[in-house]
Structure 1
Amino acid sequence: MRTLEPGLFFDALADRGTRTRVHLSRPLDIPDDGRTAYGVEDLAGLVTRAAGWLTALGVTRGDRVAVLKPNHWDYVLLACAAARIGAVPALLSGSLPPETLHLLLKRLDAGALVTTADTLAAAHTAGTDLTACTRRTLTLDAPAPGAVPLADVRGHRPPSFQRPSAQAPLAIMHTSGTTGVPKLVVHTTASLVHRIAAAEARRWPLVSSRPNDTVAQATSYAHGRGLTWTLSVFALAPREVVLLDSFEAEHAEPVLRAHRPTVLEATPAAYVRWQPLAAAPDNPFRRVRLFLNTFDAIHPPTVRAYLTATRRRLPLWVQVWGQSETGPLTFRCLTRRSVRAAGERHPTTRDLGRPVPGKTRLRVVDPATLRPVAPGGTGLVMARTKALCAGYAGEQERLSAKSAGGWFATGDLGAITRSGRLRLLDREVDAVPGGACVEIEDVLHDRLPDVVEAVVLTRPNGLPLPVLATRDGTLHRDAWRRAVADLPPLGEPALLPLDRLPLTATGKVRRQELRDRLLDGAPAPGTGRWT
């Protein structure tokens, strides 16, 4: 377990003789001579130097250190640097609106902010001074008003490492924020390392990386998955690790071709953006034996496209469902056969499989009474797991409000089949009468191949509004009518360019923001009690 603790993680790997090579899609935002390739020893040295910068900045044991910058893997390295001196890293996505960042920084009461001059300037242009929300600010790229430039803190050595208590805060990450302001999830060594990362760091048959693998990742590294994935994958010591900072196909393709992955994990949004690449005969996914997705629902045609693209005889797709507060809750393995049927009314990817054995229990309850429903009945999905977070920074009472008798309310609606599998229906706050948003969206993706993003918004009065982004910006009316013929009644679709959809850092649509824009702020249909 101790080798997985972030503070000395890369040092432990180097001592063990790990030979993993790291390849980056672009240089890190931490200035380091513009490199895009690293060995484990190099990373250990970089983390140590960054810990020295924080020490020189005045950060001490127990301080919260906010990290806010463009998306890249150095979020994880800076988190390790903070943990090395006993501080608590709090990772904030640079894609959040300035007013949201201001609120989250206030909730954090952080002792320091590590950011970039460009990030501060963009917030200032929007009328927000982020340096006023913290006691010290360090800029990685250039000097900025109210901030300490990196040149002023170089060359300092950090104090000796002191192992934190297993129950003390280790790291803070935020939720996606699709329905409002993200929550700041506080994890401990016990929950994040001992329960989540350690389980994945075991070499499981078929679903773990191997010493000869090239493992690629494309995610929002400000989210908790970036840190737990790093700890578990590097502990298994694959031959190569490829880290992509962008979901855009034109940026990812050259890197994926130069270092063709055999294991690929990405957000659903990245997979959707890269889907045209999978159709090429010499596509960059030909060697992949294992695909994984986290964060959000994956659409059947996306899974089908990648399992068809690889030249492996028996490729596997692992779909994981969980939350920032809990880590993985269920998993399901998909094959070419399991996603062969296209256009079905109840898509296969709504079946999220069974709870993680020995780690998680699920039950479905009536949202009003919290009493269990009959087997197969629909209700609020609740989870029991030892990996549950310690709370929400600045909103500790919120976790208590979402918990009852040791069970945590996920905010999702679903049903557990008689065989023990979870069928996901909707977020409680977004529920569609007579149907399910995520299920309808899956069907639209499956029946309309040119759709890149489909979102169904309910209205208090009137039919639900489908919002579509297509690859060429058009929608054929006959194809639309055929696609919705057996679905619950929907309104006329609204077409939006993909770049006009408000997205989270992981590529999810910010539904409430879209409602505010297209439905004049009409409230969501659910109670929102469990968000």
Structure 2
Amino acid sequence: MRPHDMGTLFDEAAAGGARTVFHLDRPFDIAPEAGTRWTVAELADLVRVTAARLAGAGVRPGDRVAIVKDNHWDYDLLACAAVRVGAVPALLSARLDPEDLRTLLTRLRPAALVTTSAVLARCGDASPPVRVTVDPAAPGAVHLAALDASRPCPPVRRPDDDPLVIHHTSGTTGLPKLVVHSTRTLVHTLARFEAVRYPAVGIRRDDVLLNAGAYAHGRTFCWTAVVLSAPPAEVVLLTGDDPDTADPLLRAHPPTVVEALPASYVRLRPLTTRLDNPFRRVRLYISTYDAVHPPALRAYLTASRHARPLWMQGWGQTETGPLTFRFHTRRSALAPDAESTARRLGRPVPGRTRLRAVDPDTLRPVPRGRPGLLLVRTAALALGYVAEDGRWDAKRVGAWWSTGDMGVHHRDGGVSVLDREADGPAGLSCLRTEDILEERLPQALECVVLGAVDGDPLPVVVTADGRLDPDAWEEATNGLPTLREPAVLTWDDVPRTGTGKVRRAVLARRLTGAGLAGTGRWT
């Protein structure tokens, strides 16, 4: 099946005979009494019912519908229901700071807000007149389940180039942008390319897929189109990353393909060392969103008992979708130079993506092998930013678009990303330094290097108990550029985005009182 209309996606998959069974770690927020096991036909009915309820709340074709709730895949079911009635869903993470959430809602000016009572209390005057909650106790709002679902709600079609969905960027360096995609850019260009049963990396009919994602973000909306169009045998969905909570579900349904946030890979890593670990059948790991450091690659690839497990690492952005792919094997993850090659993110997707590196000041191309600002050309480029046309236009460089990443376009066509332009100090790759530190500090859950406006970079070491042996630190920094004394924090001490990325600008201000080292011109 080739995905096209996200409003009828589940209907078409059910009509096509898809027999995939979906297993949840907790019930959907929009169907809390319906359990944790779902068929495609049952999901199609849930989307139809939800669409009818949204229409009953007053949602009309062309309206924007903001969705802000706890992390779960029903973000995408709500989005498909909104698409079905002709509206444009805008998916916002409930982990946004209240001020940022109110700013984004003000920019969106949605006709309706689907949320929880807790989030509604944080929205203040930015919430629209139509407020629908997925929990029953919310003054000034109507409970989703109380809305009439009996009236027929036929799907509303839209032109392929009209706005389809709005997602926000991660916001590691500041306020997230609101990115608008169309059916052509997100479904036709991205999802159709992925919804092919390619050898080794395509979805097989007998696969058990595990997704531990951030369901408010653009990747999972595309993933939803893919998994319904090339259905596997089973899908397992995690909404959190606590190992002890995830373990029973993963043991009951051991996955063969895993896609997770880099932060979730870090948090679930203790499962790789348990007896009869749940990753023993995995043939393919997939990571997007952020860097995955070599120790995590090694842990998961060696946990698999598959003869030749693969790790597919994608680099891309909400605005563009995937730009490059790189494959890691058990052998490459165990190689002595693994930490030095981990930033090599592969080559542009042939025939679909073009990249070049330019001087960030002059915008003139730099020779292959030298650092520069990475520009991209792709048919999957989004339509723009909501209420920030000037910001979008400022990132256009002729026919090219700025990723805001500093990197190297190598002579062999491969790409290495060094840092976000807003993050990095001159002469140092924070990402590569983080790789080296994590390799040398097995007790570290995560290492973050913050480029300072004045002085040496500040390293942040995240450990389970917020402690770090001074001798281990001294040994780990041997031969590295000069760094300040480390700030040692626990996982929960670190401000994070909805995808688990470190909010570097917030962390830098908290620890140093100053911002990051870059100009921020290209963010």
TM-score interval, smaller chain? over 0.9
Matched letter for residue 209 of structure 1: I
Q: Which residue of 2 aligns with 1:13?
A: 13
1:149 to partner: Cα distance: 2.0
Once residues 167 and 207 of structure 1 are traced to their aligned partners in structure 2, the CA distance between those partners, rounded to angstroms, is 29
1:300 to 287, 294, 300: 294
Q: Which residue of 2 aligns with 1:476?
A: 469
Is contact 1:175-1:185 (8 Å) kept? Answer: yes
Once residues 91 and 161 of structure 1 are traced to their aligned partners in structure 2, the CA distance between those partners, rounded to angstroms, is 20
2:321 to 327, 337, 349: 327
Q: Which residue of 2 aligns with 1:397?
A: 390
1:388 to partner: Cα distance: 0.2
| Paired residue secondary structure (1:400) | helix
Q: Which residue of 1 aligns with 2:238?
A: 244
1:369 to partner: Cα distance: 1.1
Once residues 315 and 112 of structure 1 are traced to their aligned partners in structure 2, the CA distance between those partners, rounded to angstroms, is 45
Moved more, 506-515 or 28-37: 28-37
Is contact 2:2-2:229 (8 Å) kept? Answer: no
Q: Which residue of 2 aligns with 1:361?
A: 354
Q: Which residue of 2 aligns with 1:220?
A: 214
The reply to whether residue 527 of structure 1 matches residue 522 of structure 2 is no
Matched letter for residue 117 of structure 1: S
Matched letter for residue 377 of structure 2: R
1:152 to partner: Cα distance: 3.6
1:185 to 166, 175, 179: 179
Could you tell me the TM-score, scaled by structure 2's length? Answer: 0.98
Cα distance, 1:494–1:305 mapped onto 2, change above 3 Å: same
Once residues 179 and 201 of structure 2 are traced to their aligned partners in structure 1, the CA distance between those partners, rounded to angstroms, is 27
Q: Deviations over 1:310-349 (max 9, x none)?
A: 10110000000000000000001110111113576x5222
| Paired residue secondary structure (2:422) | helix
The reply to whether residue 129 of structure 1 matches residue 121 of structure 2 is no
Once residues 247 and 403 of structure 1 are traced to their aligned partners in structure 2, the CA distance between those partners, rounded to angstroms, is 37
Q: Which residue of 2 aligns with 1:110?
A: 110
Q: Which residue of 1 aligns with 2:75?
A: 75
Moved more, 450-459 or 153-162: 153-162
Percent identity among equivalent residues?
Answer: 54
Q: CA RMSD in A?
A: 1.3
| Paired residue secondary structure (2:342) | helix
Is contact 1:291-1:318 (8 Å) kept? Answer: yes
1:473 to partner: Cα distance: 2.5
Residue correspondence of structure 1 range 170-181 to structure 2 within 5 A: 170-181=164-175
The reply to whether residue 318 of structure 1 matches residue 312 of structure 2 is yes
Matched letter for residue 488 of structure 2: L
1:370 to 358, 363, 369: 363
Moved more, 143-152 or 265-274: 143-152
1:258 to 252, 260, 263: 252
Once residues 271 and 260 of structure 1 are traced to their aligned partners in structure 2, the CA distance between those partners, rounded to angstroms, is 16
Once residues 466 and 368 of structure 1 are traced to their aligned partners in structure 2, the CA distance between those partners, rounded to angstroms, is 28
| Paired residue secondary structure (1:347) | helix
1:409 to partner: Cα distance: 0.4
Once residues 48 and 279 of structure 1 are traced to their aligned partners in structure 2, the CA distance between those partners, rounded to angstroms, is 43
The reply to whether residue 409 of structure 1 matches residue 402 of structure 2 is yes
Is contact 1:56-1:156 (8 Å) kept? Answer: no
2:490 to 485, 492, 497: 497
Once residues 507 and 377 of structure 1 are traced to their aligned partners in structure 2, the CA distance between those partners, rounded to angstroms, is 31
Once residues 517 and 465 of structure 2 are traced to their aligned partners in structure 1, the CA distance between those partners, rounded to angstroms, is 32
Q: Which residue of 1 aligns with 2:508?
A: 515
Once residues 398 and 157 of structure 2 are traced to their aligned partners in structure 1, the CA distance between those partners, rounded to angstroms, is 32
Kindly tell me the number of residue pairs found equivalent between the two proteins. Answer: 523
Once residues 316 and 255 of structure 2 are traced to their aligned partners in structure 1, the CA distance between those partners, rounded to angstroms, is 25
The reply to whether residue 64 of structure 1 matches residue 59 of structure 2 is no
1:158 to partner: Cα distance: 4.7
Once residues 158 and 83 of structure 1 are traced to their aligned partners in structure 2, the CA distance between those partners, rounded to angstroms, is 15
Once residues 274 and 387 of structure 2 are traced to their aligned partners in structure 1, the CA distance between those partners, rounded to angstroms, is 49
The reply to whether residue 341 of structure 1 matches residue 335 of structure 2 is yes
Is contact 1:30-1:140 (8 Å) kept? Answer: yes
1:151 to partner: Cα distance: 4.3
Once residues 451 and 157 of structure 1 are traced to their aligned partners in structure 2, the CA distance between those partners, rounded to angstroms, is 55
Residue correspondence of structure 1 range 391-470 to structure 2 within 5 A: 391-470=384-463
Structure 1: tracts of 5 or more residues without a match: none
1:416 to partner: Cα distance: 1.1
1:282 to partner: Cα distance: 1.1
Matched letter for residue 328 of structure 1: P
Once residues 301 and 2 of structure 1 are traced to their aligned partners in structure 2, the CA distance between those partners, rounded to angstroms, is 37
Residue correspondence of structure 1 range 200-211 to structure 2 within 5 A: 200-211=194-205
Q: Which residue of 2 aligns with 1:46?
A: 46
Q: Deviations over 1:167-217 (max 9, x none)?
A: 100000000000111100000001010011111001111001100010010
